[in-house]
Amino acid sequence: MTSEQPHEYGASDITVLEGLEAVRKRPGMYIGSTTERGLHHLVYEVVDNSVDEALAGYASHIEVTIQADGGVRVQDDGRGIPVDEHPTEHKSTVEVVMTVLHAGGKFGGGGYAVSGGLHGVGISVVNALSKKVITEVHRQGYSWHISFANGGIPDGPLHRGKASQKTGTIQTFYPDPEIFETVEFDFETLRARFQQMAFLNKGLTISLTDERDQFEGVTRSPKKRMKKIKFFPSTV
């Protein structure tokens, strides 16, 4: 009879996951699951950031679009994510918000008095679990752009675009099919969620558009038609 040598538990057995790598390794810790439920949670987290702007009195309209190419675009008319260099990270604040866990305006008390979502984790988690994210910010008289790929890796630094008189943030993300069991969004699931959100948040209008082909008949031939619905807040 041979006795097995007990495994020596030492320093080399401790794995350190840096940054967003931890999210990709254990996504269930952050969004609950990688099923259809977790997939839709990504949308909720992005929209919650826009709702926070509305709760703070800086936004009144959120547009959510399920794109034909599989992405989801969320646009608001809030203040826009700050674009200046972050004082401690020495990169644009937009990049910090998108790539660093627990980085947001919901901790120090200066950004938001009330908020929803994962309190600073949400948008970076969405970035970590997406194969591509495109962030566009309208602030300080210009549009600002930065994109990410393969779980939140920046394609380059934030760059300034054309002059713009509007303000707000546009987030477009494409969930990673290697993470999720499905990357097909359900219109009715999102409709029910946003109808409730608009009802509960006075002064906030949410629109939901589905740009994917709608199928009809037994042959399921595509019909070029968009679904679009707008939810208004309660007047009570």
| Residues 33-89 pLDDT 10s | 999 999 999 999 999 999 999 999 999 999 999 999 999 999 999 999 999 999 888
Residue 116 lies in a domain: yes
User: Is 153 a domain residue?
Assistant: yes
CA distance 30 to 129: 10
**Using CA atoms, how far apart are residues 120 and 109, in angstroms rounded to an integer?**
12
Q: Is residue 21 part of a domain?
A: yes
Q: Is 170 or 15 the better-scoring residue by pLDDT?
A: 170
Q: What is the mean pLDDT of the chain?
A: 85
What share of the chain has pLDDT > 70, as a percent?
78
- Note the pLDDT of residue 89: 86
Report whether pLDDT(114) > 60: no
pLDDT at 217: 46
Q: Give me the DSSP letters along 170-227.
A: EEEEEE-TTT-S--PPPHHHHHHHHHHHHHHSTT-EEEEEE-SPEEETTTTEEE---E
Q: Strand 205-210 vs strand 168-175: parallel, antiparallel, or unpaired?
A: unpaired
Structurally, how many domains does the chain consist of? 1
Look at residue 53 and tell me if it is in a domain. Answer: yes
Task: Specify whether the CB–CB gap between 236 and 201 falls below 8 A.
Answer: no
Give domain status of residue 162, yes or no.
Answer: yes
Alpha helix segments (H runs only) across the chain:
21-25, 28-31, 36-55, 93-99, 122-128, 187-200
Residues in CB range of 208: below 8 A, 6 or more apart:
64, 65, 66, 187, 190, 191, 194, 227, 228, 229, 230, 231
- Which domain covers residue 91, as residue numbers? 17-60+71-186
Looking at residue 88, which CATH number applies to its domain? 3.30.565.10
Question: Which range has the worst mean pLDDT, 70-74, 87-91, 171-175, 178-182?
Answer: 87-91
**How far is residue 160's CA from residue 94's CA, in Å, rounded to a whole number?**
12
Q: Is the pLDDT of residue 3 over 60?
A: no
Check pLDDT > 60 for residue 221.
Answer: no
What is the phi/psi pair of residue 208, to 5°? -125, 125
Residue 195 lies in a domain: no
Q: Is 10 inside a domain boundary?
A: no
Is residue 72 within 8 A of residue 65, CB to CB? The reply is yes
Q: Is residue 106 part of a domain?
A: yes
